Amino acid sequence: MEFKASHILVRDAATADKLYLRVRGGESFESLARQYSTCPSKSKGGDLGWFKEGQMVPPFENAVRRMGMGTISKPVRTQFGYHIIKKTGAR
């Protein structure tokens, strides 16, 4: 199984919570990723492309596996910080 996802990665829970509410309120996920994410994927609107099982850290991968297509996750904590994830594909 492969997944495709985008994310916004930030260092603290408070910022992640605020950005999650902004996305849920209708702001562009890609624009917020470009502006706030600390991941190099920010230049692509947070797009991580396709990845196979086992390529991402378990909390991130588990969240993506449970998500419906096109949905946005609540902040997910990993050793890298807090991720707001948008699932964009599965195959």
User: d(Cα 33, Cα 52) in Å, to the nearest integer?
Assistant: 22
- Structure confidence by residue, pLDDT tens digits, 52-81: 999 999 999 999 999 999 999 999 999 999
CATH of 2-90, one of 3.10.50.40, 3.40.640.10, 1.10.1040.10, 3.30.460.20: 3.10.50.40
What's the confidence (pLDDT) of residue 88?
Answer: 97
In angstroms, the CA 83 to CA 59 distance is 10
pLDDT at 18: 98
Q: Given this model, what pLDDT does residue 59 score? A: 98
Place of tokens 């297509």: 69
What confidence tens digit (pLDDT) does each residue in 33-56 have?
A: 999 999 999 999 999 999 999 999
Give the mean model confidence (pLDDT) for residues 11-38: 98
Bridge partners for 84 per DSSP: 8
Q: Where are the domains of the chain?
A: 2-90
Tokens 């624009």 sit on residue: 31
The answer to whether the beta carbons of residues 48 and 5 sit under 8 Å apart is yes
Cα–Cα distance, 32 to 16 (Å, whole number): 11
The pTM assigned to this predicted structure is 0.96
pLDDT at 28: 98
